[in-house]
């Protein structure tokens, strides 16, 4: 699995009990063999993109505050592709 998608999967796992959208996206990442964040984003529907649009900014901010610049950069890559 692509490192960026690994970060995304890890973040989604933190929300699977609270949001069914997170559970769905987590399963999608786990069950399908995406080779890049681009291939993943191209398979998203509007509802899935909207959910990630709400989730990722806070997670990117948290990564920056934790000085985990690699994670922040990788998550930002996915966030930019959604647009």
Cβ atoms of 79 and 57 within 8 Å: the answer is yes
Domain that holds residue 16: 3-82
Find, among 18, 3, 77, the residue nearest to 51 by Cα. Answer: 18
Cβ atoms of 16 and 22 within 8 Å: the answer is yes
User: Rounded CA gap, 50 and 62, in Å?
Assistant: 19
Compute φ and ψ for 52, nearest 5 degrees.
Answer: -65, -35
Q: State if pTM tops 0.75.
A: yes
**How many domains does the chain contain in total?**
1
**What are 43-82's pLDDT values in tens digits?**
999 999 999 999 999 999 999 999 999 999 999 999 999 9
Helices (H) then strands (E): counts for the chain: 5, 0
**What are 20-40's pLDDT values in tens digits?**
999 999 999 999 989 899 999
């Amino acid at each position: 699995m692509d490192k960026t998608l690994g970060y995304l999967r890890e973040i989604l796992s933190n929300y699977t009990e609270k949001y069914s959208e997170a559970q769905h996206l987590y399963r999608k990442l786990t069950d399908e063999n995406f080779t890049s964040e681009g291939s993943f984003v191209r398979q998203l529907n509007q509802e899935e993109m909207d959910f990630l649009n709400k989730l990722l900014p806070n997670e990117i901010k948290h990564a920056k505050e934790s000085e985990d610049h690699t994670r922040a950069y990788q998550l930002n890559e996915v966030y930019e592709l959604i647009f």
